[in-house]
Each structure stands twice: as structure tokens, then as C-alpha cells.
Amino acid sequence: MQDEAVFEETFFIEGGNFSKAGKVSAEVKRVLKEIGLDASIIRRLAIAVYESEMNVVAYADKGEMNLQIFPDKVRVSIQDQGQGIPDIELAMQEGYSTATEAIREMGFGAGMGLPNMKKNVDFFEIESTVGEGTRIRMEVLVELWGSSE
């Protein structure tokens, strides 16, 4: 059954804006810290969110990240508008990258983004339509009620 989200916030990512890259994941991390989630949970989510934000910046025109906190999990959904991914299985392979020269010059495009995301979360779902965009949904299990007095 779908619980109600105890907390929800949406962030916007500007495609191609490398100087702003990482701002959204920094903000998400700040929120999670203020809530007082476990440090290892925050670290995993921060990595996953950062990688997904970088993908939007590097490959898409724009994207929206939705953070939802439930009593038993944290869900991050990213929907972008852009070129999309033609072969998802290929994209999920470590080391596979479609980064342009410009992106590689900035230090990105190692081909580890999507695999890294999947490694750090408990649930990972990805869909994409070429010419339209990509949608990713990730969840990390937490115990929100457990630590309350």
C-alpha cells in the first residue's frame, strides 16, 4: 500500500549548466542532514542524487528532481527532457559512456554514473524514450519512526 509522503520537495535542474552542477544534490543532502537521517543513508543518497543530477546537466535540456520521504523509505524521482537513452542495458554497463569531448574535458563521462546510482540504492528503475527524455526512480529504505522518542 502506498503511504503518504511525510515530506516532499521538488528541485529543478538546468541542462548544460556545469557551474550550477551539484547544487541540487547539495540541497538534498542538506535537507536529509537537517532531518537527522543516518550518515550512511545520507551518503548513499547523496551519491545517487549527484550522479543523476550530473546526467541531466551533461545530457539533457532540463530536469526535475522530486524528493519524497516516507516512514520506511526515501524516494528520489528524476524526470528529464532531452535526448533520452537508446539502449538502457548498454548504458548501465560500467565504463560505457556517450560523453562528448567537452564533457570529458571537464572531468565527467567515465561511464560510471548509472551503475553507481544502482549500487547505492535499494530500488532502481529507469525508463527512457529517445528524443523525449529519461525517467529514473530510486528508493533507499529507512526507519523514520524507529529513532523517535
Q: Which residues would be at the binding site for another protein (CB under 8 A)?
A: 6-7, 22, 25-26, 29, 31, 33-37, 39, 43, 46-47, 50, 69, 144-145, 147-149
Count, in order, helices (H) and strands (E) of the chain: 5, 5
Q: Pull the grid cell for residue 69.
A: 520521504
Name 23's Cβ contacts closer than 8 Å, sequence gap at least 6: none
Q: Mind spelling out the 3-state secondary structure of 77-126?
A: EEEEEECCCCCHHHHCCCCCCCCCHHHHHCCCCCCCHHHHHHHHCCEEEE
User: Which CB, 17 or 129, lies closer to another protein?
Assistant: 17
Minimum distance between the CB of residue 87 and another protein, rounded to whole angstroms? 27
Determine the residue type at 20: K
Minimum distance between the CB of residue 25 and another protein, rounded to whole angstroms? 7
User: Which CB, 38 or 87, lies closer to another protein?
Assistant: 38
Minimum distance between the CB of residue 148 and another protein, rounded to whole angstroms? 4
User: Which CB, 32 or 85, lies closer to another protein?
Assistant: 32
| Residue 101 burial (10 A CB sphere; 0-12, 13-18, 19+) | exposed
User: Which CB, 57 or 85, lies closer to another protein?
Assistant: 57
Minimum distance between the CB of residue 32 and another protein, rounded to whole angstroms? 9
